Amino acid sequence: MQVKETVADGLKHEFQISVPAADLDAKADARLVDLKDKVRINGFRPGKVPVSHLKKVYGRSVMAETIDQTIRDTNSQLFTERGFRLATEPKVTMPTEQKDVEDVLTGKSDLTYTVSIEIVPVIQLADFKSFTVEKPVAEVTDAEVDDAIKRIAEQNRTFAAKAEGAKAETGDRVTVSFKGSINGTPFDGGTGENIHVTIGSNTFIPGFEEQLIGIAAGETRTLKVSFPKSYGNEKLAGQPAEFETSASLIEAPQEAVINDEFAKTLGLESLDKLKEAARERLAAEFAGATRQRVKRLLLDRLDETHRFEAPPSLVDEEFNLMWNSIKAEMESNGKTFADENTTEEASKAEYRKIADRRVRLGLVLSEIGEKNKITVTDDEVSRAVIERARQMPGREKEVWDYYRSNANALAQLRAPIYEDKVVDFILELATVTEKKVSREDLYKDDEAEKSAA
């Protein structure tokens, strides 16, 4: 076997490999000998078929299999000997001329092919004991607990019918029945009977709730609205519509009295128990925000300390996934790059930087996990599946079957678990210091990102 490197450009390599015809012929004959005891051919006793006859019947197909296996074995040996870790599947280029292919299959000429690869660079890991990470910690205040309970009361407030002839105002709940049409033609899903609409809740199509202000029980109005361009139903998205709407009941929100009786309506023994539950929920939310802040800081530190060329094909793949998603979202919302105060070229450059960072961090985390034997167990993945199923009441079996029969979906569940385990490993080595912050400071970065988006 002869191996000649024809390209060595950064992470890209190409080799021309030649395997003697005699070697292929010997391997093919060995496969035919093994086949002799397995095939049944009329006129021959089992195991007594001459190899020469088998070669006439199965020679071409066995040689094709031999060539395929030889290429795989040769490539694997080559990559192992050179210490290459492949970033993508190798690209093998075979002879294409009919005569050349025929000569190889019949053993008249050597097998010559090229294999192109892109490798993962050698990654020198930083000393994680030198890392310092500041952990922001927010304590739940009594005021925050009170605010949380007020929001709960707002969400669970009761309504009482207004006096006969009373007009609907912002905050009132109106019971309506409606029939929708576009250009005079009714459409699927456009009718509703005895639907509760709280004016100002912004849960209906923009403009629908506002046009109910001033309506009285027994009154019918035609509401003119337009479906948002980003509406889930493509047939309705961006379309102007009319809803013939009749109100049957106008109700005003009642003042919520926050006491033991209110707590009992929520299934808790007392107001103190409600406050305790609210405090625990807020503490869990704060802990989650703290975790995300610490993880983000740690990933930034890993990014700073591991600068290397990321495999271009992996960066391209990551970029294309993000870019296609961004373009689809912008088209759905009817936005342009000018609306975002940027250009397509500048936006592409920014997302390519993000793609490069994601690929490099993914390789670093993988390297850390591999060198420190960090793994995700089947039990951990199963618990993640169960948690997903719990989030979809009534469809638990459907969720479970989906993940059980979908390897890619399971891999998507496994990836964040693996990442979190690697992050925890680094944090155990790093110096972590706590810093007391307010809730506003804890969420400041998240809120800034949302406003920027």
Q: What is the per-residue pLDDT for 110?
A: 93
Contact 268, 153 (CB under 8 A): no
Residue among 112, 103, 27 at smallest CA distance from 65: 27
- Cα–Cα dist 273/267, whole Å: 10
Q: What is the pLDDT of residues 101-121, one digit of tens each?
A: 889 888 889 999 999 999 999
Contacts of 105 (CB under 8 A, 6+ apart): 60, 63, 64, 67
Sign of the CA dihedral with 283 first, then 288, 291, and 293 last: negative
Q: Which of left, alpha, beta for 218 (phi over 0: left; psi -120 to 50: alpha)?
A: left
Q: Set out the domains of the chain in order of their start, with CATH numbers.
A: 2-118 (3.30.70.1050), 158-253 (3.10.50.40), 270-452 (1.10.3120.10)
Contact 245, 190 (CB under 8 A): no
Task: Band the pLDDT of 96: cuts 50, 70, 90.
Answer: confident
Q: What is the per-residue pLDDT for 446?
A: 60
Q: What is the per-residue pLDDT for 450?
A: 44
β-strand partners of 241: 225
Q: What is the per-residue pLDDT for 48?
A: 62
Q: What is the per-residue pLDDT for 59?
A: 76
Per-residue pLDDT averaged across 199-225, rounded? 95
pLDDT > 90? residue 171: yes
pLDDT > 80? residue 20: yes
Task: Band the pLDDT of 451: cuts 50, 70, 90.
Answer: very low
Contacts of 194 (CB under 8 A, 6+ apart): 175, 176, 177, 248
More confident residue, 114 or 33: 114
Please count the CA atoms within 13 angstroms of the CA of 289 that sit on its side-chain side: 22
pLDDT > 80? residue 94: yes
Contact 210, 272 (CB under 8 A): no
Structure tokens at 362: 């993914």
Residue among 221, 216, 215 at smallest CA distance from 163: 216
